[in-house]
Amino acid sequence: MDEKVYKVRKPISDKIFSVIVVVFLALFVIITLYPVLNTVVLSFNDGIDAVRGKIYLWPRKFSIKNYKTVFGMQNIWVGAKVTVGRTVLATITSLIANALLAFVVSRKKFLFKSQLSLFWVITMYVNGGMIPVFLLYKNLGLTGTFHVYWIPGMISAFNMLVMRTYMEGIPESLEESAQLDGAGYWTVFLHIISPLCKPVYATVALFIAVWQWNSWFDAMLYNRMKTEYTTLQYELMKLLSSVMQQSGSAENAKNGANTITPVTIRAAATVVTMLPIVMLYPFLQRYFVTGLTIGGVKE
């Protein structure tokens, strides 16, 4: 697409178009970044001062008291511990399970490969729904435990398909030559396929980790009464929802001004929950871009 080579004279419409491109992207970047930056700025501003509003891209009265308050909350620490625990555990177990499944369904010689594949693809479209699933977890004794965070969602057909597509692209001859040397399927999986699959493993691990880190609904639904299994997002939700419920009427907002969490403390809690992922994702960009491109388009 190197246009300079041809030295074609550019029409005036192209210049207008360039302006539109620049304006659109500038607006896009501002709208995407500003609310996030503003939250970070608010989190570093004095709480009482912030009530006056009009704080934009720099704190008016710098303070780290908000963070002291947030880190002083017992349940934030519990939530952080549970969130880190479930993210690490689920990422490892779920990655292994999905990789094994993808490996099996991508073996061209395997007897039940298409049946097993279909068995899992169906789960993408048909599911029992909230109530039957809730009752199942209850009957299995998963509700009210930490295990409800990592056991039920261990295998996802979507992640399996992403990996399968990638594994199917690996030449069969590699596997065959290993098998001639007497390697079984386990060895092939561990020493031939897995090392070649690192990019797609990274992609899927990121998908799982983000999903785990950002989950709040399972904490609310299955562990509402168990404060020892609360998660960071659920704690943040409790902080925020006290405010949101009141936005319905101005009357409430005025009366409740003293009881709701100050905006600066909410901002600090928000920054704490989003920071790890925001710091991490730029470095994993090339993985999820390729992962999404190979897996996403081909079903």
Per CB under 8 A, 34 contacts another protein: yes
Per CB under 8 A, 266 contacts another protein: yes
Q: Which of 17/62 has CB closer to another protein?
A: 17
Tokens of 294: 């190979």
Q: Which of 161, 236, 265, 268 binds another protein (CB under 8 A)?
A: 236
Q: Which of 201/212 has CB closer to another protein?
A: 212
Distance in Å, CB of 249 to another protein, minimum:
7
Residue 251 and residue 234: Cα distance in Å, rounded? 27
In 179-204, which positions are buried (b, 16+ CB within 10 angstroms) versus exposed (e)? eeeebebeebbeebbeeebeebbbbb
Q: What one-character-per-residue DSSP string does 193-228 give? A: IHHHTHHHHHHHHHHHHHHHHH--HHHHHHSTT-GG
Per CB under 8 A, 169 contacts another protein: no
Per CB under 8 A, 277 contacts another protein: yes
Distance in Å, CB of 72 to another protein, minimum:
20
Site residues (CB under 8 A) for another protein, limited to 97-136: 97, 100-101, 103-104, 107-112, 114, 116, 119-120, 123, 125-136
CB-CB neighbours of 24 under 10 Å: 10
Q: Which of 47, 175, 240, 287 binds another protein (CB under 8 A)?
A: 240
Per CB under 8 A, 31 contacts another protein: yes
Site residues (CB under 8 A) for another protein, limited to 48-77: 53-54, 56
Round to the nearest angstrom and report the end-to-end CA distance of the chain: 30
Q: Which of 198, 217, 227, 257 binds another protein (CB under 8 A)?
A: 217
Q: Which of 64, 92, 174, 278 binds another protein (CB under 8 A)?
A: 278
Q: Which of 170, 202, 221, 260 binds another protein (CB under 8 A)?
A: 221
Per CB under 8 A, 237 contacts another protein: yes
Per CB under 8 A, 243 contacts another protein: yes
Q: Which of 161, 201, 274, 287 binds another protein (CB under 8 A)?
A: 274
| Angle between helix 74-105 and 198-214 (nearest 10) | 140
What binding mask, one character per residue, do residues 172-201 give for another protein by CB under 8 A, x or -?
-------x----xxx---------------
Q: Site size for another protein, by CB under 8 A?
A: 100
